[in-house]
Structure formats: structure tokens, C-alpha cells
Structure 1
Amino acid sequence: MLKILRYILSVVTILFATYGLITKNFEFNHIMIFLLGLTMLIMGLEEFRKERKVNGWLMVGVFLFSLFVSIQGFLLS
């Protein structure tokens, strides 16, 4: 279940990034960063399941940072 969700979030994130690069329209960057953060959260949960706690905590930290950045993007745009 987590693997399928990770793949879906990754594909949607890549689509947002590709759209921004092709059209030079970067108004959806905060959404892309939020989806990338969710992908990192899912990857962190998978690492916790594999008993790799250091990598899991690192990815959860990246998720929290990207969540903070995307919330700033939502509020400032």
C-alpha cells in the first residue's frame, strides 16, 4: 500500500515539476514541495518498517521542513 502511494505521489510531483519547467510558470511550486514532502514521509514510514530508524527520522525531518516551506508558499502567494 505504501509503495503504491509513494509511486503515485512521485509521479504527480514529477508532473508538477515538468509543467513548471516547460511553461516557466512556477505558481504551483508550493504544491510540488508539499507532495515531495508527503513522498518523503511515506519513504520514512517504509524505513521505520525496515528497522532503519536513523534514515526514517531523517526523512521525517525532511518532510517537516518541506511542510513548513510549502505552508509559507501557500500563505505568501
Structure 2
Amino acid sequence: MLKRLRLILGIVVLLLAGFGLITKNFVAQPFMMLGLSAFILVGGINELQQGNKRRGYMNIFLCVFVLAVLVQSFVK
């Protein structure tokens, strides 16, 4: 279940990033960052389930960091 979700989120993030790079139109960047945050969160949950607590908590921290950057980009 988590592997499929990670695959889908990874593809979505890559497509949105590619769209922004090719067209030089960064309208979809907040959606890409939201997808990236979800991708990292799912990875962190997966690592915690496998018993890698250090890596899992680091991924969850990175997820929160990406969300904070996303919120900060909306405030400016």
C-alpha cells in the first residue's frame, strides 16, 4: 500500500517539477511542494514500520520543514 502511494506521489512530483522546468511557469510549484512533503511523509512512515526510527523521524522532520517553506511562500 505504501509502496504504491510512494510511487504515485513520486510520479506526480516529477511531472509537476518537469512541467515547471520545461515551461518556465511555476504556477504548479506549491502543489509540487505539497506532493513532495506527502512523499517524504510516506517514506518516513515506511521507515518507522521497518524499524529505522532515526531515518523515519528525520523524514518526518523534513516533511514538516517542506510544509513550513510552503506556508512561508504563501505568506510572502
TM range, smaller chain: over 0.9
Deviations 1:1-37 (A, max 9, x none): 1110110000000000000000000122121111101
How big is the shift at 1:73? 2.7
SS at match of 1:65: helix
Contact 1:17 1:32 in 2 (8 A): yes
Structure-2 residue corresponding to 1:20: 20
The equivalences for 1:1-77 within 5 A come to: 1-76=1-76
Paired positions, count: 76
Distance in 2, matches of 1:3 and 1:74, equals: 31
Distance in 2, matches of 1:28 and 1:75, equals: 17
Identity %: 38
Structure 1 unmatched runs, 5+: none
Distance in 2, matches of 1:66 and 1:74, equals: 13
Structure 2 unmatched runs, 5+: none
Distance in 1, matches of 2:70 and 2:28, equals: 10
